[in-house]
Chains A and B, each alone.
Chain A
């Protein structure tokens, strides 16, 4: 066995493995590592890109300003968390329901529905935004048409502070629930059939089988789905941009959007870099925690 693997050892092909790796590695160093160091250093400076004058070293004051004096930062953090908690669990629940339904219909229908599920998932997010702007339009939008059918007053969905965030979240749920369903369906279809057959022989009910066989076996898939959606949720930008631009006021301004606005509307590059590092820290900590939970689960299962 050892003799066979010898042909691919780094020692034998002294430089080849590195030559293969180098273009990608060097590219990523140039477009990820270098910019990140650049941004870290910038976050300790003050610099407005559209005004003359260079960087002024200000130490930690950008971070202190954000963490202790910037109420907008905290309101955007709150919006981000509301957004996360209001979309991902619903996507997960509905996705699981859809996956279970699809598993119980004929092959032909479920194959066709699978293709349908891919459509919102793979769609250009900007076009998703356009579609929902069309649906939410206060004058001729389809949703107000449905309200009209039931003789209800029209609603300015994305234009009013109390419905704007909810409206964006509904669009997000529409966009990503099918993705959850796709992942969970793939998970369901890869489950072994023996436990289910044995349970059927023993006369277990559908709910019992779901609770004691499907659910425990599906947990790794569920964690992957949740992990991906939670991380992606912090990146949500496009549909907010199209639907509300963070408004009205700031009710739909997530951390991601807040950072963008600071950088490219106000051009305070130092402050924005500090903001983006704080955002990165929050995302990293949350993903690390989730990955840890994920791997502990895996170890236990083995």
Chain B
């Protein structure tokens, strides 16, 4: 009996150590980012790094006094929200059609959309760049709002198709019998039933658009650069101003982390395109 007790105690200690190590390794790098964002330039550049210092919010004040970065932030918000709205609208309509009407080729269309998501973006970006150039859309927010549909539209279709298939058809069918049009059934019955799923999907599309860098780098210029591009831009021109970079990085992370908390339950489902629930 003593032996078993001893064994389980050792087991408990080992698990505790493991959990602490996992926590530490995951949280330490972002913590360094956050701490550096609160340091003065002198403190940030000192070696060995100062762990105890007088925190300052000067970097954040500087960032919000910088017109260029505010513009980047606004561009990011405009692009991410517009793209999310369009993706959700078009995507959930298509998903409803694919989930409810099993027409010839409906499965093929669904799989084709899934395969678009597997494609490396660098493959599509070259022709998209040339097309946007010909349409004179380069360096406008429209370029990204449209280009991000390649990522987010298939995502919404695939996710929402799963959510629609999870709700029973009977309510919608009885509404159809009562003479409702399919559009009304979709709008007034199906959408409210999948509302939580729609919200989680929307949060993820927002995060994807907010985080995206490669397309933004290529399709934007000074007028329409999003936050990731803006942050990298100030790294290039002036050498690295760590206060600026780190506080900008923290600002970029805030909406992502807040939204991620809301969509927690659906994040794994979303990131695996519904393969894992």
The 10 closest A-B pairs by CB, nearest first: A35-B127, A24-B94, A20-B97, A17-B101, A126-B228, A39-B127, A10-B103, A21-B97, A127-B249, A23-B90
Q: CB within 8 Å of A: which of B15-67?
A: 15, 18-19, 22-23, 25-27, 29-30, 32-33, 36, 44-49
Q: Is the CB of A24 within 8 A of B116?
A: no
- Which of B154, B235, B272 has the most A CB atoms < 10 Å from its CB? B272
A interface vs B, CB < 8 Å? Answer: 4-5, 7-10, 13, 16-18, 20-21, 23-25, 27-28, 31-32, 34-36, 38-39, 42, 49, 98, 101, 104-105, 109, 113-127, 130-135, 139-140, 142, 144-145, 148, 174, 178-179, 182-183, 186-187, 190, 221, 224-225, 228, 231, 234-235, 237-238, 241-242, 256, 259-260, 263-264, 269, 272-273, 276-277, 279-280, 283-284, 287
Whether A131 contacts B260 by the Cβ 8 Å rule is no
Which one of A118, A130, A145, A221 contacts B260 once the chains associate, using CB atoms below 8 Å? Answer: A118
Inter-subunit contact A32/B150 (CB<8 Å): yes
List residues of chain A with CB within 8 A of the CB of B93: 20-21, 23-24
On whether the beta carbons of B118 and A231 are closer than 8 Å, the reply is yes
Contact partners of A260 in chain B: CB under 8 A: 122, 214
Number of chain B interface residues as a range: 35 or more
- The answer to whether B211 and A124 touch across the interface, beta carbons within 8 angstroms, is yes
Q: A101-B22, A224-B275 are in contact. Are A124 and B101 (CB under 8 A)?
A: no
- Least CB distance, A246 to chain B, in whole angstroms: 13
Query: In the docked arrangement, what's the CA distance between A24 and B94, Å?
Result: 6
Judge whether A8 and B121 touch: CB under 8 Å. Answer: no
Mask, B205-249, CB within 8 Å of A = 1, is 001001101100110000000001001100100001010011001
A185 CB → nearest B CB, Å: 8
Q: A224 to B272, Cβ gap below 8 A?
A: yes
A13 to B36, CA, bound (A): 60
CB-CB nearest in chain A for B124 = A35
Q: How many A-B residue pairs have CB under 8 A?
A: 263
User: A118-B260, A140-B46 in contact; A190/B277 too (CB < 8 A)?
Assistant: yes
Is A279's CB under 8 angstroms from B48's CB?
Answer: no
Interchain residue pairs with CB less than 8 A apart (7): A35-B128, A39-B126, A123-B253, A124-B211, A125-B213, A127-B33, A133-B240
Contact yes or no, A31 B211, CB < 8 A: no
Interfacial chain B residues near A4, Cβ < 8 Å: 169-170, 173
A109-B19, A131-B32, A260-B214 known; A38-B127 Cβ under 8 A? yes
Is the CB–CB distance between A187 and B118 below 8 Å?
no
What are the residues of chain A within 8 A of B207 when measuring CB–CB? 122
Q: How close is A286's CB to chain B, nearest CB, in angstroms?
A: 10
Query: Looking across the interface, which residue of chain B has its beta carbon closest to that of A28?
Result: B153
